[in-house]
Amino acid sequence: MKPILLLTLVLCLTCPLPAGGAVPEAEEGAVISEVTETGTAWSVADPQNPTGTLRNGQPVTQENVLALLAEAKQLWPDGMTWTYSSRVQSGNNVYGSDPETSVGAACVAGYQLSHEEACGAFAAMLSDYVFGPSANPARRLDDNTQVRPGDIVFRVNPDGAAAHVNIAMTTAHDQGGLPCIRTADGNVGGKVQWFDTVPNYPTRVNAEPRWPGESVRVIFTRYPE
């Protein structure tokens, strides 16, 4: 895609959300957007922080992760077009990532999903935006009930192929006897959708199928052990 314009956005969280829920002031240079003929390619600046530190320099805690996710929602809000470029003539958004330098992209690519387009790109980008592109390696959870905000959640079919991936916005809550969460998703009907304020917990995270042919969830976390 041929670049037309280069913009540097200035939304980068420097502290957790206050009690009132307002998004704090931001520092410059968190992400770069490159406007192209078919849409916008996003990239996340890499401060190369050490493991145990989020991209904004704060320690890895659930509170700090949620604060960065709240800011990400301001950057990439509900309804933003986020799908495969072949499905739209203009206005799409993609993640300009490289699995060699992006933990989020490498994790998504490991399940044969695109790290540049659609749900895979959105999940990889949010993960890198929170944890940093190169810090905090991803590891698979042994117990899906230990899911935390910011974790990468794959829906995997019985043949082992991933059908969708999103980002956890909550810990697990029991719903109908199953652990369930709220999520942030790309490519839901071709759009970004944040499920963080819905009244229920719509995404189950059971690791074992309840019947033959049911998909399961495989979860990767970037919280330190």
Let me know: does 120 contact 97? Beta carbons within 8 Å: no
pLDDT digits (tens, 9 = 90+) for 161-195: 999 999 999 999 999 999 999 999 999 999 999 99
205: three-class secondary structure by DSSP: coil
Record the pTM.
Answer: 0.89
CA proximity to 204, closest of 156, 158, 160: 156
How high is the pLDDT of residue 27? Answer: 53
How high is the pLDDT of residue 210? Answer: 95
CA distance 106 to 191: 23
Burial of 154 (0-12, 13-18, 19+ CB in 10 A): buried
pLDDT digits (tens, 9 = 90+) for 85-104: 999 988 999 999 999 999 99
Helices (H), 26-115: 62-75, 103-109
Q: What is the pLDDT along the chain (225 residues), one digit of tens a residue?
A: 334 333 334 333 333 333 344 444 445 678 999 998 879 999 999 999 999 999 999 999 999 999 999 999 999 999 999 999 999 988 999 999 999 999 999 999 999 999 999 999 999 999 999 999 999 999 999 999 999 999 999 999 999 999 999 999 999 999 999 999 999 999 999 999 999 999 999 999 999 999 999 999 999 999 999
Q: Identify the helix (H) or strand (E) that includes residue 138.
A: none
* Backbone φ, ψ for residue 152 (5° rounding): -95, 120
* Residue found under tokens 């890198």: 128
CA proximity to 187, closest of 171, 172, 201, 167: 167
Let me know: does 93 contact 40? Beta carbons within 8 Å: yes
How high is the pLDDT of residue 38? Answer: 78
How high is the pLDDT of residue 9? Answer: 42
How high is the pLDDT of residue 163? Answer: 98
Beta-strand ranges (E) seen in 27-151 are: 31-36, 39-44, 92-95, 139-140
CA distance 25 to 137: 28
